[in-house]
DNA sequence: TTGCATGCAAACGGTTTGCAAAACC
DNA sequence: GGTTTTGCAAACCGTTTGCATGCAA
């Protein structure tokens, strides 16, 4: 097995995110009645920075500690929870290991994850997106999150094991 | 919040599974070179029984203990892991709480889960199924598992909070 | 009779929580 | 000044593992 250490997955982006300004990060907080603190801005900045946009709590903590070494897991997790509550980020529960978090973009996108090396590739698909919306609408549910995960063995890992 | 205790989610089936015979349960084991034991047959029987087909390790243990009170978590988890390895069951990682497991059926189906009460409703969609297959094929990946989860607030929970 | 499977308890790893001090508005 | 938020450490909970015993083949 060619398993990467958990929480250090590499992924390939279909396209880079547009970087949000500091002001729009602050807006996210204000809109929800959350206080603006250095810690929260730092966490948002990390979530909003590439090249990898799916980050585990550990990833976030590691990056944030470079600026503020005192920041701890409790703060990260508590804030992530609020961000989920207010729908600013999505949580991606991996089959194994820690969950990943990412800022919501306007366009839905989905994930292909290799069960061996944990590499994540994103894809978009309007057909799937509208189909899922229709299904939820029919049932009179209120959509919170669409998760489409395809678990595969990627080409590289297939070659290694054969 | 109207949160059910974890591991006790209710779900609505689109249609009942066809019950597998004891012999076909044994076949599952034989095919994979796994030894046939009372414990494993009991666990398979539970996985193959309704009315709810998505079960947590705890659910399985509770049911299995009615027959064999000595059976423990270790046995359940170790066996579930093998069943996943040999692709006889799927693991559904919930956003919160324990994972659910279910025997794979021939037809892919997907889940709508309420983030508040954890109720799961299944749905099928040929369009999504074939689209996902096509996407994986294009990338020359080897499909292991399709997971489509829609997280919603269900009608009942929406009413309660309004 | 040999190696795989089990049961127990202890360890593990990711996440959450209680509490006192600090920061925000 | 009153309320939120933070940092620390301890608790938590689902899952995994080590080891001695039991059982299927």
Closest residue on chain A to B99 (Cα): A95
Return d(Cα B108, Cα B133) in angstroms, integer.
11
Q: Which two tokens stand for residue A76?
A: 């990260």
Q: Is the CB of A40 under 7 A from strand D?
A: yes
- pLDDT of res. B57: 96
Q: Which two tokens stand for residue B91?
A: 């693991």
- CB neighbour burial string for A124-146, b if at least 16 within 10 angstroms, e if fewer: ebeebbebbeebbeeeebbebbb
Angle between helix A38-47 and helix A57-67 axes, rounded to 10 deg: 120
Handedness of CA A33, A38, A42, A43 (dihedral sign): negative
Q: Is the CB of A97 under 7 A from strand C?
A: yes
Map tokens 């602050």 to a residue: A26
Kindly list the distances between the CA atom of residue A56 and the CA atoms of A7, A42, B144, in Å, as whole numbers in the listed order.
6, 15, 23
Q: Which one has a higher pLDDT value, A113 or A36? A: A36
CB atoms within 10 A of CB A120: 21
Task: Report whether pLDDT(B78) > 80.
Answer: yes
- CB neighbour burial string for B88-111, b if at least 16 within 10 angstroms, e if fewer: bbbbbbbbebebbbbbeeeebbbb
Instruction: Give tens-digit pLDDT for B126-156.
Output: 888 888 888 887 777 877 777 787 877 777 7
Instruction: Give tens-digit pLDDT for A47-62.
Output: 988 767 789 999 999 9
- pLDDT of res. A4: 33
Question: Three-state DSSP class for B126?
Answer: helix
Return d(Cα A42, Cα A67) in angstroms, integer.
8
Contact of B119 with chain A, judged by CB distance below 8 Å, is answered with no
Instruction: List the single best residue of A90, A141, A146, A157 to mutate versus B (max B Cβ within 10 A).
Output: A141
Return d(Cα B38, Cα B67) in angstroms, integer.
10
- DSSP lists the bridge partners of residue B12 as B121
CB atoms within 10 A of CB B139: 15
- Scanning B2-21 for CB atoms below 8 A from A yields none
| pLDDT bracket for residue A77 (50, 70, 90) | very high
Residue with CA nearest to C16's C1' atom: A74
Nearest partner of A3 among A81, A151, A118, judged by Cα: A118
Decide: residue A92, CB within 10 A, 0-12 exposed, 13-18 middle, 19+ buried: buried
Instruction: List the single best residue of B147, B159, B160 to mutate versus A (max A Cβ within 10 A).
Output: B147
**Stated pTM of the model:** 0.74
């Amino acid at each position: 097995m060619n398993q990467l250490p958990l929480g250090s997955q590499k992924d390939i982006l279909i396209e880079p995110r547009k970087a949000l300004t500091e002001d729009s990060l602050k807006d996210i907080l204000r809109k929800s009645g959350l206080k603006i603190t250095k810690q929260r801005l730092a966490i948002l900045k990390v979530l909003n920075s590439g090249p990898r946009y799916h980050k585990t709590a550990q990833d976030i903590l590691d990056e944030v500690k470079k600026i503020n070494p005192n920041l701890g897991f409790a703060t990260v997790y508590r804030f992530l929870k609020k961000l989920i509550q207010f729908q600013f980020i999505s949580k991606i529960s991996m089959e194994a290991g820690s969950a990943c978090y990412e800022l919501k973009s306007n366009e839905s996108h989905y994930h292909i994850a290799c069960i061996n090396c944990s590499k994540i590739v994103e894809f978009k698909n309007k057909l799937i997106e509208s189909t899922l919306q229709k299904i939820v609408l029919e049932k009179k549910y209120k959509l919170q999150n669409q998760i489409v995960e395809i678990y595969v063995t990627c080409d590289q890992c297939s070659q290694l094991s054969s």
